[in-house]
Amino acid sequence: MTVIDANRMHEIETRYPEYFHRSFRQRFGGLMILIATLLYSLYAVWFFDLPKLFTEAHWERVGIYLSQWVSYDVQPEFRIEGDGSIDIRYPRFSPLGDNPHPDWLVNNPDGSITVSISGTSRNVTVSKSETIVTAHGISVPVDVSSGAPTVVGPVPGWMTVYDDNVLADLGFAGNVSISADRVKIRKRFIGWANFIFDTQSSFFDKPVGEVVSLIVSGPRIKPDQSNLSLAFDDIWNNSEWQHGDVWTKLFQTIVMAFLGTLLGSLTAFPLAFLAARNITPNRLLNQILKRFFDFLRSVDMLIWALFLTRAFGPGPLAGSGAIFLTETGTLGKLYSEGLENIDNKPREGIKSTGAQTVLVHRYGIMPQIVPIFVSQTLYQWESNVRGAAIIGAVGAGGIGLKLWEAMRTNANWENVAYMVILILIVVFIFDTASNALRHRLMGTKTH
């Protein structure tokens, strides 16, 4: 065991004072940061009143909206006429078309009608005097012969009785509303109804094999148009899903992002040379341009879009202008900082030969900054594809406006899901492409 005397210990302390004489910040800095983070978290909980927010939130709506993203419902209505007959009616724009005959609806010999909500375990039988709801292993009769619906026997937890209505909640499968003279049923199906052909199409409700046969070799449905052209028109002009309009708006979004980013980069590029201190030794001009860049990028793209839609009206021009202004500020700052961090030796070497300023920039600066500038521009372009979808919601055109219109109805959540998936696919493609280009320009390999 080695013993260190006092002189040796003093020598070590003198040589390495940072280990033996640590400041207050070095000793307690980590603890202070932890305490500050905890206090800020408690303040945020109090400021936003998070306990009340979580308690009063309508969490059940999350499940409802998500189920509507991946499903659709059919809503037949059974009206009990005065002579005891039952009239079946569907909504005007029913997914089943104008003349529905679903196999889950059975007319019984006694005049009653049985509707299968979910297989054989959940069904509803409607007759002139009562409606029987079967679910969760029990059958509950509801008498409607006395003028008001009355549940016969104990009321289960999934059934709610009102003064003139009885509501049976059957979960995801649907629900049943029973009144004195009518029964409304909501039956839910997994999937997107009529995604390819709507109810007005000549190919509606035909099996896939029959559709393919008609397109390939079948007789013309319309004498003046081939079946292939007719099928494309029916898909493109699908009134329920509006594929043509959605894809056109999606293309507008991509063009908005490309045009705004391109114009922003072309404007920011020369201004960045004037803003860089080592390129343009004019302190006043440097500061004016840098503050100009700060102003443009400090105003959010969404705010610029609101201003421009008031000036030019709603449409993709306002969206492209908003991206252009934001990108001029963002790319101008990035470009100027990139220029200020270049290696000055190549530039000074070329300048020493007596070359003109343009040649000094061309051979002393451009080889260093072009890969960085292109990489930054590609990243901003990919990011602006997402941004263009957002600003479209305020009237700047593109698929964002279409998405907002579908959400505002609070009934077309499957259309919302369709457009969200399209946006995700486009963002994924552009992200992958821009990453590949950036790695290629920077000379690095992707993993």
Q: pLDDT by residue (tens digit) across 381-434?
A: 888 888 888 888 887 778 888 888 888 877 788 999 999 999 899 888 888 887
Which single residue is written with the structure tokens 């101008």? 332
Report the length, in residues, of the chain.
447
| Position 100 confidence tier, pLDDT thresholds 50, 70, 90 | confident
Q: Is the pLDDT of residue 176 over 90?
A: yes
- CB-based contact 116:103 (threshold 8 Å): no
- CB-based contact 414:192 (threshold 8 Å): yes
For the segment(s) 243-442, the CATH number from 1.10.3720.10, 3.40.50.720, 3.30.70.1430, 3.60.15.10 is 1.10.3720.10
Which pLDDT does position 237 carry in this prediction? 92
Which pLDDT does position 52 carry in this prediction? 87
How far is residue 208's CA from residue 212's CA, in Å, rounded to a whole number?
6
Using CA atoms of 257, 263, 269, 274 in order, give the dihedral in degrees to the nearest 10: -130
Q: Which of 13-22, 345-354, 413-422 has the lowest mean pLDDT?
A: 13-22
- CB-based contact 73:188 (threshold 8 Å): yes
Backbone angles phi, psi at 134, to 5 degrees: -110, 120
- CB-based contact 444:377 (threshold 8 Å): no
Q: Is the pLDDT of residue 110 over 70?
A: yes
Q: Is the pLDDT of residue 67 over 90?
A: no
Which pLDDT does position 42 carry in this prediction? 93
Q: Domain extents for the chain?
A: 6-47, 69-190, 243-442
| Position 261 confidence tier, pLDDT thresholds 50, 70, 90 | very high
Report the chain's mean pLDDT, rounded to a whole number: 86
Q: Is the pLDDT of residue 38 over 70?
A: yes
Q: Which of 19-23, 115-119, 168-172 has the lowest mean pLDDT?
A: 19-23
Helices (H), 276-365: 283-298, 301-312, 316-340, 344-352, 357-360
Which single residue is written with the structure tokens 């260190």? 4
In the chain, the amino acid numbered 348 is E
DSSP-derived letter for residue 394 is G
Q: Is the pLDDT of residue 61 over 80?
A: no
Taking residues 107-116, report their average pLDDT: 90
Which pLDDT does position 351 carry in this prediction? 77
